[in-house]
Structure 1
Amino acid sequence: MSASKSKMNVWQLTVLTAVNMMGSGIILLPSKLAEVGTISLFSWIITAGGSLALAYAFARCGMLSRKPGGMGGYAEYAFGKAGNYMANYTYGLSLVIANVAIAITAVGYGTVLFNATLTPVQTCLWTIFLLIITTVANFGGSRITGRIGVVTVWGVILPVVAVSILGWLWFSSSTWAAAWNPHNVAFLPAVGSSISITLWAFLGLESACANSDAVENPERNVPIAVLGGTIGSAVIYIISTNVIAGIVPNDILAKSSAPFGLAFSIMFSPTVGSIVTALMVVACIGSLLGWQFTVAQVFKSSADVGYFVPVFKIATSSGTPIVGMVILLAAQVALSLMTISPQLSSQFEKVVNLAVVTNLVPYVMSMAALITIQKIAGVPPHRALLTNIVAMIATVYSFYALFSAGQEALMLGGLRIFAGWTLFGFVSGRFYRLEVEAHVKDPGKSLQA
């Protein structure tokens, strides 16, 4: 078989991109958006536009960059080694935070599945229990746990797609309209309050460019697949959340810890609703299994090249970074304790806002670096102009999402970023030594202070 025949076509990559993007991030959103109302439709439209701009810009970064390391490599073009470090640090930190949100989601659906009522402390303890179990399960390596996540993600995708298609049979326009703006909030604050929660569903879109070597004609097909996958995901997100808003009365939906299970209970029967709820619990746990290992590997790979403190690169003979896993688990436990709230949905929102704020840092850095990446790649100015305009649109959206995340998320995110600069002091000497060695070999090179 020839190499070209073994590669994916544009349709296959588009589907893969959409599947990779869709996951447990969507399954609590109908309840969170119900707190705002169906006016959040405008939030979806704005976020879909911003995500498309980000997706296209990341596709261009992936095609033109010659530095390894994803967003860290992109950021290095404009911000040097310190920029590479900060992009990796904030991205890794956002994944650590996101895993707490996934665990909270699993607990929420679990309480409905088992008809349990938990106090805030009990919710927190069950969240911590899931984080511990999924971390320990990876101590032997990710060979099995990684495969589990690939299968269990369909426990989310299939119900979400099903409600998007079949839910219209139970859709009531009057129920949807009654939920438009239940708290009579002014238009701009209402739309802004759900920007970060809608962006949460799109996080990970930057990883869609990782398969450029496995697709035919990547220069043409990768941007098409990334945009197509993002548009497809956006359509499913918007339809599924709004269909549920037209099936379940707003006051009931806003209080639900398992909105998709509730919708299927109304559409078919409580038994079907319980099956969907169980599928989503399994999907969350499967996702968490894979991501707990992935996060530790992100920190290990960065430590291997000198960006993170050496403790993160300690690994067993099978390559499992158990020490790093335990450190990251401790951070997740602390975050779970810090965000205890009277309502599970409130704790979920706090964690999601913090994850979004942290993840937007490497997004903004990558957008800024795209100008330099195109110049170094020799892209003609007239072709570079369109990409630069799209990157600026993505940047404006990113700052709007940062502002909309709220003061608490910005404050905590800022503290974590400053902590990151402090940690960089422990590893930056290595890069200075490398620069000195390069200067000795080539005196024409200037040293950066």
Structure 2
Amino acid sequence: MARKMSVMQLTMLTAVNMLGSGIVMLPTKLAEVGGISILSWLITATGSLALAYAFARCGMLSRKAGGMGGYAEYTFGKGGNYLTNYTYGLSLLIANVAIAITAVGYLQVLLGLTLSALQITLLTIALLWLTTVANFGGAHITGRIGAVTVWGVIAPVLVMCTLGWFWFQPALYAAGWNPHALPWYDAAGASVSITLWAFLGLESACANTDAVENPERNVPIAVLGGTLGAAVIYIVSTNVIAGIVSNPELVASTAPFGLAFAKMFNPLVGNAVMAAMVLACIGSLLGWQFTIAQVFKSSADTGYFLPMFAKVNRAGTPIVGMLVLLALQTVMALLTISPDLSKQFDVLVNLAVVTNLVPYILSMAALATLQQVSNVPPRQALVSNAVAWLAAAYSYLALYSSGEQALMMGGLATIFGYSLFGTVNIRLMRLEAQGVLRVPVQTTSARHGTPVTQEP
């Protein structure tokens, strides 16, 4: 038997999976609220820990393939499984456009460019096309590239958490604490959506159940420990920057980490950090463009998505599906065009969060059924169900904080999924009549870590 991971190894893997390109623009977005946005971090950390624990319980009890889709099926049937796959795939699609926007933001500062809204959008689209076409030969190389380039984000963030304190100025931090004089309850809710963006993907760590020793005990510990570790790094790094760079400068920056390192050391170091983060975003985008196509392919194999997403070439690449998804991403980039790159990023992130929260909420609602069919003792089930309700309450708060536009667009996209299911269900019935078995569905994070497959 292959040697399995220890609880410490899985905890580290979980933390690294979440520490990706999601943090790159966070200091700028949080500066719009001020240092008081730490209240949002505390809320999101609590909610994320509740989500992580509930997902760990779902992963331990579920006997269905498909990750969150499999969890949802216990309570909502195949319609719930479909809607979970549909909204999760849509979230990944949107999130990758946000990653491309992030790379463009750092790139224009690195090269000293002043780009118009149209130029930013065209460069974003070009980056999406480049990273998609580069995957046509297969993902074995791009996966390795992503595993290396992600440290272009992680290394600077860890340096900021440790060495950044030597440049931290309490007076500068205090000046940017609450620049808009918001009441504490408004400030606490203002950044919940953007802070959750950094934690999206925490559910993917639960798919490593079979790879760890004593999973009943170690998976919940690793998921909670990894999520807590990521939370500490996020909170510390973004707040240290707020004491190194003034609030107005942070709000105006599209490359906040590069700006902070330039102030800490010199512009050359700042440029090196920006270059590393651009490479990290491109490496992440390279891998996730292929991964999204694989997610859609896996769902097409089960009958949930259109058959065209299941077609592959000799290298096993679903080129047709990749091109369809690329066309959708191109439309998204054009529809969200804005004179302010930060605003365009904001629109995409909020929409990605809204669509990603639908499978989260369905999974939390399914935990009670999962525990019932698994004969979990009532007292133990009560605790897990209470945590799931806390996680669901946080998810609704995150939905509310995403704003009216994101809620409207995300709601329309979700409801449209029900219309699509009317057609999809016919194909599912045909496949079931033919005795076609489901295959495992790949579950992934939009911006963090490596793709994983959860077996039935």
Q: Tell me the TM-score normalized by structure 1.
A: 0.95
In the TM superposition, what are the counterparts of 1:68-79 in structure 2 within 5 Å? 68-79=65-76
Q: Which residue of 2 aligns with 1:216?
A: 213
Confirm whether residue 135 of structure 1 aligns to residue 110 of structure 2.
no
Which region of structure 1 is more displaced relative to structure 2, 395-404 or 416-425?
416-425
Q: Which residue of 1 aligns with 2:253?
A: 256
Confirm whether residue 231 of structure 1 aligns to residue 225 of structure 2.
no
What amino acid is the match of 1:221? N
In structure 1, C-alpha distance between the alignment counterparts of 2:415 and 2:128, rounded to whole Å: 26
Q: Which residue of 2 aligns with 1:443?
A: none
Gap regions ≥5 residues in structure 2? 436-456
Task: Tell me by how many angstroms 1:341 deviates.
Answer: 1.2
Gap regions ≥5 residues in structure 1? 439-449
Which of the residues 399, 417, 420 maps onto 2:396? 399
Q: Which residue of 2 aligns with 1:148?
A: 145
What amino acid is the match of 1:107? V
Aligned partner of residue 303 in structure 2, secondary structure:
coil
In structure 2, C-alpha distance between the alignment counterparts of 1:13 and 1:181, rounded to whole Å: 38
Same amino acid, percent of matched pairs: 68
Are 1:341 and 1:347, in contact at CA under 8 Å, matched by a contact in 2? yes
Q: Which residue of 2 aligns with 1:325?
A: 322
Are 1:17 and 1:208, in contact at CA under 8 Å, matched by a contact in 2? yes
In structure 2, C-alpha distance between the alignment counterparts of 1:110 and 1:269, rounded to whole Å: 18
Which of the residues 42, 46, 50 maps onto 2:47? 50
Q: Which residue of 1 aligns with 2:171?
A: 174
Cα deviation, 1:62-82, whole Å, max 9, x if unaligned, reads: 000000100000000000001
Cα deviation, 1:172-216, whole Å, max 9, x if unaligned, reads: 111111111111223222222211000000000000111111111
What amino acid is the match of 2:78? K
Confirm whether residue 283 of structure 1 aligns to residue 280 of structure 2.
yes
User: Number of aligned pairs?
Assistant: 435
In structure 1, C-alpha distance between the alignment counterparts of 2:183 and 2:328, rounded to whole Å: 37
In structure 2, C-alpha distance between the alignment counterparts of 1:208 and 1:164, rounded to whole Å: 24
In structure 1, C-alpha distance between the alignment counterparts of 2:246 and 2:274, rounded to whole Å: 19
Q: Which residue of 1 aligns with 2:88?
A: 91
Q: Which residue of 2 aligns with 1:431?
A: 428
In structure 1, C-alpha distance between the alignment counterparts of 2:324 and 2:406, rounded to whole Å: 22
| Bigger Cα Rg | 1
What amino acid is the match of 1:393? L
Q: Which residue of 2 aligns with 1:118?
A: 115
Cα deviation, 1:70-99, whole Å, max 9, x if unaligned, reads: 000000000000100000010011000000
In structure 1, C-alpha distance between the alignment counterparts of 2:249 and 2:412, rounded to whole Å: 37
In structure 1, C-alpha distance between the alignment counterparts of 2:219 and 2:397, rounded to whole Å: 27
Which of the residues 365, 368, 373 maps onto 1:371? 368
In structure 1, C-alpha distance between the alignment counterparts of 2:190 and 2:289, rounded to whole Å: 29
Aligned partner of residue 7 in structure 1, secondary structure:
coil
Q: Which residue of 2 aligns with 1:35?
A: 32
Are 2:33 and 2:190, in contact at CA under 8 Å, matched by a contact in 1? yes
Aligned partner of residue 201 in structure 1, secondary structure:
helix
Are 1:36 and 1:181, in contact at CA under 8 Å, matched by a contact in 2? yes
Q: Which residue of 1 aligns with 2:333?
A: 336
Are 2:303 and 2:431, in contact at CA under 8 Å, matched by a contact in 1? no
Q: Which residue of 2 aligns with 1:345?
A: 342
In structure 2, C-alpha distance between the alignment counterparts of 1:191 and 1:337, rounded to whole Å: 32
Cα deviation, 1:347-398, whole Å, max 9, x if unaligned, reads: 0000000000000000000000000001111101011111000000000000
In structure 1, C-alpha distance between the alignment counterparts of 2:57 and 2:183, rounded to whole Å: 38
Q: Which residue of 2 aligns with 1:22?
A: 19
Q: Which residue of 1 aligns with 2:452?
A: none
Task: Tell me by how many angstroms 1:437 deviates.
Answer: 8.0
Q: Which residue of 2 aligns with 1:245?
A: 242
Are 1:30 and 1:253, in contact at CA under 8 Å, matched by a contact in 2? yes
Q: Tell me the TM-score normalized by structure 2.
A: 0.94
Are 1:74 and 1:370, in contact at CA under 8 Å, matched by a contact in 2? yes
Which region of structure 1 is more displaced relative to structure 2, 420-429 or 80-89?
420-429
Which of the residues 48, 55, 59 maps onto 2:56? 59
Over the aligned positions, Cα root-mean-square deviation in angstroms equals: 1.1
Are 1:81 and 1:431, in contact at CA under 8 Å, matched by a contact in 2? no
Task: Tell me by how many angstroms 1:315 deviates.
Answer: 1.1
In structure 2, C-alpha distance between the alignment counterparts of 1:95 and 1:417, rounded to whole Å: 14
Task: Tell me by how many angstroms 1:41 deviates.
Answer: 0.2
In structure 2, C-alpha distance between the alignment counterparts of 1:323 and 1:102, rounded to whole Å: 22
Are 1:308 and 1:424, in contact at CA under 8 Å, matched by a contact in 2? no
Are 1:309 and 1:426, in contact at CA under 8 Å, matched by a contact in 2? no
Task: Tell me by how many angstroms 1:146 deviates.
Answer: 1.2
Which of the residues 373, 378, 382 maps onto 1:381? 378
Cα deviation, 1:101-139, whole Å, max 9, x if unaligned, reads: 000000000011101100111111111010000011111
Q: Which residue of 2 aligns with 1:200?
A: 197
Aligned partner of residue 186 in structure 2, secondary structure:
helix
Confirm whether residue 165 of structure 1 aligns to residue 191 of structure 2.
no
